């Protein structure tokens, strides 16, 4: 039993939604395109899950955040896919892929064949068990990657109002969930191994600002350590988190955000991998010319820095997906993907954006005791990265533009004095 399509998108997350919109804009015909997703709903804006979805009042719920509302584009509801003849194969896991035969085998035993495949399988949350800690399958421990995780988290927060939560991990999930827990009137202790939060991006000075802000909201930070085990009661619920030094943090619930692994396993041994992802060229095409990869799972050349990178952010998922479809549908008119990395987060009333690369010397600017401040990264004599908290739209646009231009910086002290003014003057 099987079906055949010209184009198949494997995965139904952010990248899949933006790829579908681009296919439609470029005139895909009815019946040519299919999306296969393990999730039971069409593509949605995943970032909502750690923000609006967790609000105690008037939370975001589907269908309001289906792609592509995050980029102020059309909202692709089930009706939209139907009207445009795009087949949604939902709630369906692909178990194996045969790149040579151009077929995918689903868990239900169906073979789906393609002429062109776009891999948009994203990533999975790393489990504590992978670091030797047992018990993260307890009912009051949750991860956050998809809608079903978010529903578990919402239910847990409702049952723990006024109680204690331990957040494991000081990255994006840890920081955004800690803020949501506080907003839901739950006391938070955050545990992570690094010396400060968001260690992959923030400088100690930037991290200090956010940690102080979180502390003012009652969040406790336990840094430079990891948990060693859970204390679990006879009903199977975690009651406390035990740290490496033996100390005990009482817990009514636990949220874990300790990083991700790209979903590449179906293609290992069939496609070239790099940096943990599927290696693609500037057209997002893998080592097999009929197969493209986009979003979190793709390792693509970032022209600006002359390097292959794998990014785990929504803007890159949206834009790489659109570029791949352009390259597939109009190969002669589509050049190399020329992407400026862009990350952002919003917590409480704070909001920051980052553009470029966090490499080289850091120059902080602005008022770290106020609400607008930032940093530039200067590498090999050029501005390569910019961070800004509390900026206006024009200010964010200016730092993005300045970073893309990679201007030569001869006088670092002058850059520090000019601060945001440097970007605004470009």
Q: How far is the CB of 256 from ligand FDA (least distance, A)?
A: 12
Q: How far is the CB of 372 from ligand FDA (least distance, A)?
A: 20
State CA 281 to chain mean position distance: 21
- Write each residue from 142 to 181 as x if it is in contact with ligand FDA (CB under 6 A), else as -, in one continuous string: --xx------------------------------------
- Work out what residue 194 binds among ligand NAD, ligand FDA, none; the CB cut-off runs from 5 to 8 Å by kind: ligand NAD
Instruction: Look up tokens 């010319």; give the residue.
Output: 289
Q: Give the sign of the dihedral formed by CA 288, CA 292, CA 295, CA 299.
A: positive
Are 398 and 409 in contact by the 8 Å Cβ rule? The answer is: no
The region of 247-255, 343-351, 361-369, 398-406 touching ligand FDA under the rule CB under 6 A is 343-351
First to last CA, the chain: 60
With respect to ligand FDA, which residue has the nearer C-beta, 53 or 365?
53
User: What Å distances lie between residue 276 and 51, 127, 297, 308, CA to CA?
Assistant: 27, 17, 8, 11
Q: What distance in Å separates the CA atoms of residue 248 and residue 237, rounded to the nearest whole number?
A: 16
| Position with the least CB separation from ligand NAD | 171
**Site residues (vs ligand NAD, CB under 6 A):** 50, 131, 168-174, 176, 192-194, 199-200, 226, 257-260, 312-313, 343, 345
The region of 13-21, 229-237, 279-287, 367-375 touching ligand FDA under the rule CB under 6 A is 13-21
Gyration radius (Cα) of the chain, Å: 22
Q: How far is the CB of 48 from ligand FDA (least distance, A)?
A: 8
**Beta pairing partners, 220:** 189
The region of 192-200, 339-347, 365-373, 408-416 touching ligand FDA under the rule CB under 6 A is 339-347
Q: Which of 7, 8, 12, 138 binds ligand FDA (CB under 6 A)?
A: 12
Encode 277-314 in three state secondary structure: EEECCCCCECCCCCEEECHHHEEEEEHHHCEEEECCCH
Side-by-side strand order, sheet with 382-389: 342-347, 350-356, 382-389, 373-379, 361-366
- Work out what residue 168 binds among ligand NAD, ligand FDA, none; the CB cut-off runs from 5 to 8 Å by kind: ligand NAD
- Work out what residue 259 binds among ligand NAD, ligand FDA, none; the CB cut-off runs from 5 to 8 Å by kind: ligand NAD
Which residues contact ligand FDA (rule: CB under 6 A)?
11-16, 36-39, 46-47, 49-50, 93-94, 120-123, 144-145, 263, 266, 295-297, 312-315, 317, 343-345
């Amino acid at each position: 039993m099987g079906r055949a399509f010209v184009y198949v998108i494997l995965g139904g997350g952010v990248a899949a939604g933006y790829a579908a919109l681009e296919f439609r804009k470029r005139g895909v015909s009815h019946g040519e395109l299919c999306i296969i997703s393990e999730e039971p709903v069409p593509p949605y804006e995943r970032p909502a899950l750690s923000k609006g979805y967790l609000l105690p009042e008037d939370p975001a719920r589907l269908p309001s955040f289906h792609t592509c509302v995050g980029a102020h584009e059309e909202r692709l509801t089930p009706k939209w896919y139907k009207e445009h003849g795009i087949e949604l194969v939902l709630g369906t896991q692909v178990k194996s892929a045969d790149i040579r035969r151009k077929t995918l085998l689903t868990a239900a035993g169906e073979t789906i064949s393609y002429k062109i495949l776009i891999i948009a399988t994203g990533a999975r949350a790393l489990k504590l068990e992978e670091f030797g800690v047992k018990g993260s399958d307890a009912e009051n421990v949750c991860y956050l990657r998809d809608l079903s995780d978010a529903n578990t988290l919402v239910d847990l927060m409702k049952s723990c109002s006024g109680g204690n939560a331990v957040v494991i991990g000081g990255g994006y999930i840890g920081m955004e969930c800690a803020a949501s827990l506080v907003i839901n009137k739950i006391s938070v202790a955050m545990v992570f191994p690094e010396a400060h939060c968001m260690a992959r991006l923030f400088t100690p000075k930037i991290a200090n600002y956010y940690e102080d802000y979180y502390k003012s909201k009652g969040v406790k930070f336990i840094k430079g350590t990891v948990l060693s085990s859970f204390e679990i009661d006879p009903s199977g619920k975690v009651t406390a988190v035990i740290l490496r030094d033996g100390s005990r943090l009482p817990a009514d619930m636990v949220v874990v955000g300790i990083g991700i692994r790209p979903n590449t396993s179906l293609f290992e041994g069939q496609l070239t991998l790099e940096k943990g992802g599927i290696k693609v060229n500037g057209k997002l095409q893998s080592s097999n010319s009929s197969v493209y990869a986009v979003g979190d799972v793709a390792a693509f050349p970032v022209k600006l820095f002359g390097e292959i990178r794998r990014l785990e952010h929504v803007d890159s998922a949206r834009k790489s997906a659109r570029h791949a479809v352009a390259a597939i549908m109009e190969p002669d008119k589509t050049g190399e993907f020329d992407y400026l990395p862009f990350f952002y987060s919003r917590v409480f009333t704070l909001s920051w954006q980052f553009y470029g690369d966090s490499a080289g010397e850091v120059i902080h600017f602005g008022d770290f005791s106020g609400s607008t401040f930032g940093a530039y990264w200067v590498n090999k004599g050029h501005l390569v990265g910019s961070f800004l908290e509390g900026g206006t739209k024009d200010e964010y646009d200016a730092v993005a533009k300045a970073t893309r231009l990679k201007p030569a910086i001869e006088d670092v002290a002058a850059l520090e004095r000019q601060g945001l003014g440097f970007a605004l003057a470009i």
